[in-house]
Amino acid sequence: MITIDDVADPTVRTVLTAINAGDRAAFMAALAPDATLSDDGSDRDLEQWIDREIFTVNGHIEVESASDDGRSFVARYRNDTWGEMRTTWAFTIVGGKVLRMDTGQA
């Protein structure tokens, strides 16, 4: 396991910390105004997805391994809806903000 503090990219660290703290406001503050998200290869409405998959269901993430300077990783993700699953995450960061998040099952 890699601690969130050991994830190289500071914007990604902010997002992961916000997920585990249940802090939707901090999560949203890390996003670019036009940020987008895909889940298992399909584009999703970002705000609806984060509410349904993270913030209303106690989402929690533990990073197993990271690459791409901390912008891509494999993690164990769990929430009250789906339980725990192994997932991949990739972030496109522009100007210190998340422009794109891609996630899916590993």
Domains contained in the chain, number = 1
Residue 59: per-residue pLDDT = 98
**For each of the chain's 106 residues, which pLDDT tens digit applies?**
999 999 999 999 999 999 999 999 999 999 999 999 999 999 999 999 999 999 999 999 999 999 999 999 999 999 999 999 999 999 999 999 999 999 999 9
Domain with 32 in it: what CATH number? 3.10.450.50
Residue numbers of the domain that contains 32: 4-105
pTM of full prediction above 0.85: yes
Helix (H/G/I), strand (E/B), else coil: 70: helix
Residue 89: per-residue pLDDT = 98
DSSP assignment letter at 68:
G
Helix (H/G/I), strand (E/B), else coil: 13: helix
Q: In what order do the strands lie in the sheet with 83-94?
A: 42-44, 31-39, 97-105, 83-94, 72-79, 60-67
